[in-house]
Amino acid sequence: MTMTDEILEATPTGYFLGVRFSDTGKSYYFETPFPDFDIGTSVIVETIRGLELGQVSMLPVSLSRYQGNLSLKPILRKATPSDIEAFDENKRQSQYAYKYCTEQIERLGLGMHLVSAEFTLDRSKLIFSYLSEERVDFRDLLRLLAGHFHTRIDLRQIGSRDKAKMIGGIGICGLPLCCATFLNEFDNISINRAKNQLLTLNIPKLSGHCGKLICCLKYEDEAYTELKKDFPKVGSRVTYEGETYRITSMNVLTRIVKLENYNGVHFLPLEQVNQLPKVAGEQKGK
């Protein structure tokens, strides 16, 4: 009896494995009683969207090692040739659905930008994702789409970060976008994080593919906050070699502090700066 059979004899121990639904997308965990899945194997699973075809991206691991809080949905079966054929056909039909929906949006004059169109594997649902700055009354569009495609229509408004997650791309670091690989949720990224990390406030350079501040600003934020506790406050003044200098910048990684006055500039180690006399009224900052 092979794994492609619908009825299989389960092993005593359960497993979980990773499944990816696109080349650049993140992996999601699913449960299976069977250990013999290879990387790249096409499988059928049920998600909140419906039946979907994905590829195994992580080999099975014993369920005893699963540390997630969410319950896992099962792998329904390995994909059959007919599943793969249906998946390929759905991709072709989704391209037509995208074109048709875009034409109707323009005809109806709706303020929405269509991002994608996708059929579930069993064609029970057609999902359209779109961007819009305001609430859209798409009731007429919904009726047109339902009458044309004769299936359940799901119109989903997404944000610019969600669009970047769906489309993917390469970040300024040269690696695939974090949102398209492993980020589950988008934190609120404020300009204060850039200030905390002493970055030049050049918004275009600090913005990602989505047009918002890059998510990676949060990765080192706590480390910078902790490291800066040992440093004097930027703008404070100290006495060095008989002259008063203002602290204008610092590098928390190399622990070098920049001192400036009208007569010159000095770069000193943090340990030495902390031994310098402080000008009255100046306090060590956090």
pLDDT at residue number 24: 55
Q: Strands 50-62, 15-20: parallel, antiparallel or unpaired by DSSP? A: antiparallel
- Return d(Cα 214, Cα 81) in angstroms, integer: 41
Of 205, 257, 207, the closest CA to residue 232 belongs to 257
- Domains located in the chain, CATH noted: 15-79 (no CATH), 85-158 (3.30.300), 163-219 (no CATH), 229-273 (2.30.30)
pLDDT of residue 87: 93
- Residue appearing with tokens 């398209």: 180
Contact predicate 16/61, CB 8 Å = yes
Strand ordering across the sheet containing 113-119: 113-119, 125-131, 152-157
- Are 41 and 117 in contact by the 8 Å Cβ rule? The answer is no
- Residue 161: the pLDDT is 78
Residue-level pLDDT at 206: 86
Q: Three-state SS for 145? A: helix
Residues with pLDDT less than 70, the chain = 1-13, 23-25, 184, 281-286
Residue bearing tokens 């299989």: 8
- Give the dihedral of Cα atoms 101, 103, 109, 113; nearest 10 deg: 60
